[in-house]
Amino acid sequence: MNIKSGNILIVDDDEDILYSARLLLKQHYAITHIEKNPQHIPSLLKENNYDVILLDMNFSGDATSGAEGFNWLRKILELDPGAVVVLITAFGNIEMAVKAIKDGATDFVLKPWQNEKLLATVSSAFKLSRSRQEIDDLVSKQRQLSSDIDQQFHDIIGASAEMKKVFATIEKVAKTDANVLILGENGTGKELVARAIHRHSNRSGAIFLSVDMGAISESLFESELFGHTKGAFTDAREDKPGRFEIASGGTLFLDEIGNLPFNLQTKLMSVLQNRQVTRVGSAGAKDIDIRLICATNLPVEELMSEKRFRQDLLYRINTVEIKLPPLQKRKEDIPLLVSHFLQLYCRKYNKPLKEVSAQTLSALENYSWHGNVRELQHAVERVVILSESNILQPADFNFSPYDVKDNSVDLNTFHLEKAEKMLIIKAVSKHGGNLTKAAKELGVTRASLYRRLEKYGL
């Protein structure tokens, strides 16, 4: 059994037209309102949401020009810009039809009509109306989803002098389209700053796309960033846009830009310079319009002097440079961060709001936090989950073994896994939590170091 839906309004000064149209349309739609006096349109729109409005163009005061109909069309669209209006008249011509569409009408029907023609026109208008509603719902859900995703980082927490400088720079640069380079150690919140810039920019209603450059293999670089055509290589089973195309109109965030191999930097430079991408396997270039934000935890000036990073690329990506301080240099922000994360995770895990004792807060402020804000965040989340107490003590925090003072490699064990774990701890501690430098000293790739950190629960 088909359940009828839809709310249709018919406005015409001819009662015969009104009743015959209602008789026909009520067989197909749930509600069909009729109205003889167009002066009642504003109140009807306030009280109802109509999928389709059938509007006569010539009321008793003006029989042929359609002026009244056009005036009421404009009034309806002022009251409801998304309204789907079909104009009906006995005095139609091509010029009038063109003007009707230009003025915002969805379609144009002549009287007397054939029932099949009227049903087809209203059906098309109804589908358009529902499609618009679905798009509006999707956009609304997307905005809410984006807001929810960003909610825990809606504001970057900090009141220190260092962070006030960061906030001031964000405020100045956000409304421009200037390229931004964010520098800082792992866990300092580089992506949060990038999102904040996007959220306060003129592109805030468009996409923010984050790409971890360190996670894209050299062989897939062009395909992932610039896209490919079907058949361009063995696994290219369909056309696929790259990240630059997807982000066009919005903001593209290239994280860990310092890890990009030198030979690929040339290709990236070409795209940024020409504002065009060419998919792998295609000869035609596509224009792109992105706001570029990059970030790295590596010393790009050193990389540049060592010929590992292109000078011209560095100049292009850092029109404005933002340096994020490590947590050790803004310890006065730790109480604010702890309070923020406690509220966040107590709410998330449905726990009573926990507090920290003065002794605990002192211990947190004096801890090294090589993993910066990210490490603090994870520490608070873990303690909210595991601690039974509402007043948190130092013993509730399982401080990371990275906070060791002795960086020598004197080992007291011949057990391979224990020795490897200790070497990793010492290397990471020596380099202040910089995993790229630690991996280099250990003689392994960064990805390999990540796997070992996960293996040993570090």
Residue with tokens 């062009």: 222
Distance CA 172, CA 180 (A): 12
Distance CA 430, CA 446 (A): 16
Structure confidence by residue, pLDDT tens digits, 289-330: 999 999 999 998 888 888 899 999 999 999 999 999 999 999
Domain 416-455 coded CATH 3.40.50.620: no
Residue 395 identity = A
Distance CA 54, CA 199 (A): 41
pTM exceeding 0.75: no
Structure confidence by residue, pLDDT tens digits, 2-23: 567 889 999 988 888 899 999 9
196: tokens are: 């904040």
pLDDT for the residue numbered 85: 93
CATH level 3 topology of 174-323: Rossmann fold (3.40.50)
CB atoms within 10 A of CB 177: 14
CATH 1.10.8.60: which residues of the chain? 327-396
212 near 252, Cβ under 8 Å? no
CATH 1.10.10.60: which residues of the chain? 416-455
pLDDT for the residue numbered 406: 45
CATH number for the 327-396 domain, one of 1.10.8.60, 1.10.8.350, 1.10.3720.10, 1.10.10.10?
A: 1.10.8.60
* Residues of the chain under the 50 pLDDT cut: 1, 151-153, 404-409
pLDDT for the residue numbered 69: 82
pLDDT for the residue numbered 96: 74
**CATH homologous superfamily of domain 7-138?**
Response regulator (3.40.50.2300)
Structure confidence by residue, pLDDT tens digits, 228-238: 888 878 777 88
CATH 3.40.50.300: which residues of the chain? 174-323
Residue 93 identity = N
